[in-house]
Amino acid sequence: MRIIGIKFKEGGKIYYFAPAEGTEYTENAEVIVETGRGLEFAFVAFPPREAAEEEVTQPLRPVVRLATDKDREQRKKNLERRAEAIRAAQEKANGYGLAMKIIDCEFTFDGNKVLFFFSAENRVDFRELVRDLASMFHSRIELRQVGARDEAKLLGGIAPCGRECCCAGAMPDFCKVSIKMAKVQGLSLNPGKISGLCGRLMCCLSYENEYYSEAYKKMPKLGGEVGTPEGKGTVVSNNMLTYTVRVKIEKDGVPVFKDFPLAEIRFRGRGTQAEEEAAEEEEGTEAPQEREEPALQERRPQAERERRRAEKPHRQGEGQERKNRQENRGHGGQARPQEREKQPQGEGAPPAEHRRRRHKRGHGKKGGETPPQA
């Protein structure tokens, strides 16, 4: 199947269209395409090529023609109307007392429809506003609420790195980012340093996350104790690009900071460390700080599993005995009611019925005293 890549703005998402037969297309060529909103002015992202049917969402809309001078003039007029349309829409919204900010607007190529983008903290009832805008522009009106990230993408701006925001110039779609990415890459967790213009986490945190995630597993934990050729020390920082570790070593009571290659550092891997910490909590023992020899590491997990399997019945017996002692303690050290019924009566002991009757009389008055007989 033959397709062509089309985008509607610089840095925007690429869509697949069906190229016209007998027409040559070059990259960044201006074309007119058919969309769900009608005819639109667009640009060629990549020239026609073959693609598998599984990669394409059917049906493909066609490329109508290459753009002419008249088409370019029409697009220029639509762009010039944007600023005035945004100002007028914001004034109307303020007149109705609507807590919304008009961010951007788009005119369809033929001018029959106007799409306004706005941001608001809550849902907004803009039905009256739509009627006024429709009578003002004599077109169909659509208002679409967007979030903080989409607002930054539409408005653009200069990011903290000094370049244009990634979402506005180089990202067709938003990617998932999390605070864990910043932690793995060794960045400051100060929100002001890892947030973009939108106030959310910067999109660029995901660019090299795959590499840093793999390197993070190989590096020692910050603040952990490691072994070096010059003795034991504490990890101060890790360089995941050069695979070097900065260690603080005490020499004659004076702290010395020195960088060592990762291959010269002895420590427990993060996977082994997590397993041993869980074992420490269960056994109440202290684990060694240095990484053991590989052969001993392979034998230790198997030996630990065999020892725990052998001690499991003994632990279960101790747990049941402890539970019984706690239950007896809750009854004041006396036997439970069910057990009292089963207690054998000694010689001369009153029958159970008499004991119950006497017990009832004893608790009939305050303090459990039996009333005097007349």
Q: Is residue 300 a part of any domain in this protein?
A: no
Structure tokens belonging to residue 229 = 């050729």
Q: Are residues 204 and 228 in the same domain?
A: no
pLDDT tens across 17-32, in order?
Answer: 999 888 889 988 999 9
Last residue of a domain, one of 146, 173, 191: 146
206 and 239, same structural domain?
A: no
Write out the two tokens for 301: 């997990």
Domain CATH code at residue 253? 2.30.30
CATH number assigned to the domain comprising residue 97: 3.30.300.20
List beta partners, residue 3.
49
If asked whether residues 130 and 104 sit together in one domain, one would say: yes
Domain range holding 23?
2-67
Report the number of distinct structural domains present in the chain.
4
Same domain as 210, residue 223? no
Which of these, 219, 296, 223, lies nearest to 265 by C-alpha position? 219
Question: Are 223 and 211 part of one and the same domain?
Answer: no
> Which is nearest to 194 in space by CA: 184, 185, 202?
202
For residue 329, pLDDT beyond 80? no
Of 146, 165, 183, which marks where a domain is finished?
Answer: 146
Q: Is residue 351 part of a domain?
A: no
In a domain, 131, yes or no: yes
Burial state string for 48-83 with b = 16 or more CB within 10 A and e = fewer than 16: beeeeeeeeeeebeebeebbeeebeebbeebeeeee
What is the rounded CA–CA span in Å between residue 268 and residue 287? 10
Please indicate, yes or no, if residue 350 is contained in any of the structural domains. no
Q: With DSSP H G I counted as helix, E B as strand and the rest as coil, what are the percentages for the chain, rounded to 5?
A: 40, 25, 35
User: Residue length, the chain?
Assistant: 374
Q: Are 44 and 26 in contact (CB under 8 A)?
A: yes
Would you say residue 330 has pLDDT above 60?
no
What is the pLDDT averaged over residues 338-342?
46
Does residue 117 lie in a domain region? yes
The pLDDT of residue 281 is 41
My answer on whether 123 and 167 are in the same domain is no
pLDDT computed for residue 59 by the predictor: 84
State the CB neighbour count (10 A cutoff) for residue 92: 18
Check residue 328 and give its pLDDT.
59
> Do residues 171 and 225 share a domain?
no
Q: E-strand spans in 133-213? A: 140-145
pLDDT tens, residue by residue, 152-190 = 988 888 888 888 888 888 787 888 899 999 999 888 888
Asked if pLDDT for residue 226 goes beyond 80, the answer is yes
CA distance 124 to 101: 11
Q: Are residues 169 and 201 in the same domain?
A: yes
Question: Do residue 232 and residue 210 come from a single domain?
Answer: no
Whether 139 and 179 map to the same domain: the answer is no
Q: Is residue 63 assigned to a domain?
A: yes
Spell 320-331 as b/e; 16+ CB within 10 A means b: eeeeeeeeeeee
Residue 190 maps to a domain: yes
Return the pLDDT at 310: 67
Residue 352, in any domain of the structure: no
Query: Mind listing the pLDDT tens digit for each residue in 229-259?
Result: 988 999 999 999 999 999 999 888 889 999 9
pLDDT of residue 325: 67
Phi/psi class of residue 28: alpha, beta or left (left: φ > 0; alpha: ψ in -120 to 50)? Answer: left
> How high does pLDDT run on average in the chain?
79
Label residue 272 by pLDDT band (50, 70, 90): very low
Residues 196 and 212: their CA atoms lie apart, in Å, by 21
What is the four-CA torsion angle of 41, 46, 51, 53, rounded to 10 degrees? -20
Same domain, 228 and 185: no
Strands 101-107 and 15-17: unpaired
Q: What's the pTM value of the predicted model, to 2 decimals?
A: 0.60
**Tokens standing for residue 144:** 């679409």
Q: State the average pLDDT over residues 91-118.
A: 92
293, pLDDT greater than 60: no
Last residue of a domain, one of 114, 146, 178: 146
Q: Is the peptide bond before 47 cis (omega within 30 degrees of 0)?
A: no
